[in-house]
A and B are shown apart, each in its own frame.
Chain A
């Protein structure tokens, strides 16, 4: 049969190649971001400081402070947040069978933010409490939106979006209500944090440990979602059909739902609500590399990381020394891209 010749199914090799390419771009973005900043450090000094830090040679110079204390944590956080939001967005789009699904649009980010705020009020000093509360907020919101978005027992696109908008507005109102009522100075910073802020210092002394924890959670959640990527490909052609092909649809949806909520909660809890990333990065990755989720999930993750690192770098440099919040940058760039996507049509 002439079958094999024309089919080019996805292979792990191809995935690695594309991810390698994207990782290279990410690396370049990181290098640029390391180089750029209000504190002048030459490339040579950057490399030296990084090297010293890597081999553990103690270095109390200011270079060390700036690079390891300010720039690297910011970049590391940016990568984490970008990857989490994009992967979560890709998951939601499959789960809800809606290309407009994104943690921000669906109000999930607001739910996570509300959870984080409540935990700041109730237990401001418990490490990890914010993350947990943000996850709960995200999960509860997506559950509510999922159930509200059904019509006659089936998920309906229009109803779903409406439910998301309603949820987002409602949660934002509660957040504003909280902000007006409660008085703590910590809460006042939240208005800023609600726009996306990568400068938050880790709540623990052990910076490496903190980031290790965050990345570990990301790896587990994204990994869990990745195991369902074959299933998601099938589900996207129809839930019933996927069931007939042997997909345990209920289980897959549950895994994706939990994983996407964890990822959203993680991102929002460390950096506030950043919009459009979860919506646009998966779309662009689809346009570039196709809709196969076995490739889409890793490319979305890396793509999201690139976007956030670049947005943050730009935000630091356009109107220096004032810094534009990351959320503002993604919205500024995101809206035109969104409009462009909306205008593409099939003939």
Chain B
């Protein structure tokens, strides 16, 4: 579908305090991808073609049921895979053609937590985010430490600095992983289902933080998530995927139509509009 509103401002949202002219940061043009499952004769899975744009300070949520192509889309955005047709551009450059380290300076992907093999302190972990800058075999400079410190502050994890990674709770770890991504000083921040292992408090906190990062620090944030309501609450635009097709892209209120949602998620759903102008999705029949 088409790109959303140019300036993103709607009735319900306050415009950000300083609002310089927005520039298109992420541009997806008719990107498509297909693959067949390995070793088995499962049918091919096709994604796309998908087109949309995202600017600075935008938080775009990608939603859809399982196997709808969300992860594939994210991989395309991250440059991990090359689109079979179409283009994915960040700041004007085709993503999959970027050299690895240059790409890492522009795009940061926050995946779910991984197994650390050996003990590591938080600050060491976050410092690793500075890897894309400088030579391959490098020693961290003062500037690197500064950036890492900034990143920790941005996620509010400054106090965790000297702790061991294994000692962190789920939410804390999530923040630290995010800090490492921020230390890369990316233009585009991609997150793959970051709320999966968090409790509701953690989920809200994370989305709030992402919102703040987008608003204040000018990141472009793309989040793949299952959380219908949180996405509606915090994102500027939502892309709804279903069976490899991007059904809708637009503001939450536009995208959350009852019939569409029911068809996509195959569940009895109902959409309520709240006073803030943002929709809320509930189970039908539960008043």
Q: Which residues of A contact B (CB under 8 A)?
A: 1-4, 6-7, 9-12, 97, 99, 153, 226-231, 233-234, 236-238, 240-241, 243-248, 286, 291-292, 294, 346
Q: In the complex the two chains form, what is the Cα distance from A60 to B234 in whole Å?
A: 87
Known: A99-B117, A237-B128. A226 touches B100 (CB 8 A): no
Name the interface residues of B88-118: CB closer than 8 Å to any CB of A: 100-105, 107-109, 111, 114-118
Closest to B105 in A: A246
Cβ-defined partner of B120 (8 Å) among A229, A243, A291: A291
B161-A6 in contact (CB<8A): yes
Closest to A296 in B: B118
Q: In the complex the two chains form, what is the Cα distance from A154 to B128 in whole Å?
A: 24
A230-B138 in contact (CB<8A): yes
Closest to B184 in A: A245
B140-A226 in contact (CB<8A): no
Known: A6-B123, A9-B145, A153-B38. A247 touches B131 (CB 8 A): yes
Q: In the complex the two chains form, what is the Cα distance from A6 to B127 in whole Å?
A: 12
Cβ-defined partner of B128 (8 Å) among A1, A227, A245: A245
Q: In the complex the two chains form, what is the Cα distance from A244 to B100 in whole Å?
A: 8
Q: Could you list some 8 contacts between A and B, CB below 8 A?
A: A2-B149, A3-B149, A3-B152, A3-B153, A240-B111, A241-B111, A244-B78, A245-B132
B100-A247 in contact (CB<8A): yes
Interface residue count on the B side (C-beta < 8 Å): 47
B118-A286 in contact (CB<8A): yes
Tell me the smallest distance from the CB of A346 to a CB of chain B, in Å: 7
A9-B137 in contact (CB<8A): no
B221 on interface, CB distance cutoff 8 Å: no
Q: In the complex the two chains form, what is the Cα distance from A153 to B39 in whole Å?
A: 11
* Leading 8 A-B pairs by shortest Cβ distance: A3-B149, A246-B104, A238-B114, A246-B101, A9-B140, A291-B118, A246-B132, A244-B109
Instruction: List 8 other contacts, CB 8 Å, given A4-B145, A246-B102.
Output: A229-B137, A230-B131, A237-B120, A237-B128, A245-B131, A245-B184, A246-B101, A247-B131
Closest to A249 in B: B100
Q: In the complex the two chains form, what is the Cα distance from A245 to B185 in whole Å?
A: 11
Tell me the smallest distance from the CB of A9 to a CB of chain B, in Å: 4
Q: Which B residues are in CB contact (< 8 Å) with A233? A: 128
Closest to B98 in A: A246
B80 on interface, CB distance cutoff 8 Å: yes
Tell me the smallest distance from the CB of B226 to a CB of chain A, in Å: 21
Give B125-157 as 1s and 0s: 1 = Cβ < 8 Å from A's Cβ atoms: 101110110001111101011101110110000
A244-B140 in contact (CB<8A): no
Q: Which A residues are in CB contact (< 8 Å) with B125? A: 237
Cβ-defined partner of B111 (8 Å) among A3, A227, A244, A291: A244
Tell me the smallest distance from the CB of B228 to a CB of chain A, in Å: 27
Closest to A11 in B: B139
Known: A3-B150, A9-B140, A294-B137. A234 touches B162 (CB 8 A): no
A7-B138 in contact (CB<8A): no
A10-B139 in contact (CB<8A): yes
Q: In the complex the two chains form, what is the Cα distance from A172 to B13 in whole Å?
A: 72
Q: Which B residues are in CB contact (< 8 Å) with A346? A: 166
A7-B149 in contact (CB<8A): yes
B117-A231 in contact (CB<8A): no
A1-B149 in contact (CB<8A): yes
B119 on interface, CB distance cutoff 8 Å: yes
Q: In the complex the two chains form, what is the Cα distance from A238 to B110 in whole Å?
A: 12
Q: Which A residues are in CB contact (< 8 Å) with B104? A: 244-246
Q: Which B residues are in CB contact (< 8 Å) with A11? A: 139
Q: Which B residues are in CB contact (< 8 Å) with A227? A: 136-137
Q: Which B residues are in CB contact (< 8 Å) with A229? A: 137
B137-A3 in contact (CB<8A): no
Most buried by B among A234, A240, A244: A244
Q: Which A residues are in CB contact (< 8 Å) with B162? A: 6
Known: A7-B148, A245-B132, A246-B101. A1 touches B111 (CB 8 A): no
B149-A4 in contact (CB<8A): yes
Tell me the smallest distance from the CB of A326 to a CB of chain B, in Å: 28
Q: In the complex the two chains form, what is the Cα distance from A141 to B80 in whole Å?
A: 31
B145-A7 in contact (CB<8A): yes
Most buried by B among A4, A99, A234: A4
Known: A10-B139, A236-B117, A245-B129. A1 touches B108 (CB 8 A): no
Q: In the complex the two chains form, what is the Cα distance from A263 to B276 in whole Å?
A: 66
Cβ-defined partner of B145 (8 Å) among A3, A230, A231, A294: A3
A291-B123 in contact (CB<8A): no
Q: In the complex the two chains form, what is the Cα distance from A20 to B59 in whole Å?
A: 52
Closest to B150 in A: A1
Q: Which A residues are in CB contact (< 8 Å) with B105? A: 246
Closest to A9 in B: B140
Tell me the smallest distance from the CB of B95 to a CB of chain A, in Å: 12
A243-B80 in contact (CB<8A): yes
Q: Which B residues are in CB contact (< 8 Å) with A286? A: 118
Q: In the complex the two chains form, what is the Cα distance from A229 to B131 in whole Å?
A: 12
Name the interface residues of B58-105: CB closer than 8 Å to any CB of A: 78, 80, 100-105
Most buried by B among A7, A11, A153: A7
Closest to B141 in A: A9
Most buried by B among A243, A246, A248: A246
Known: A4-B145, A294-B139. A234 touches B128 (CB 8 A): yes
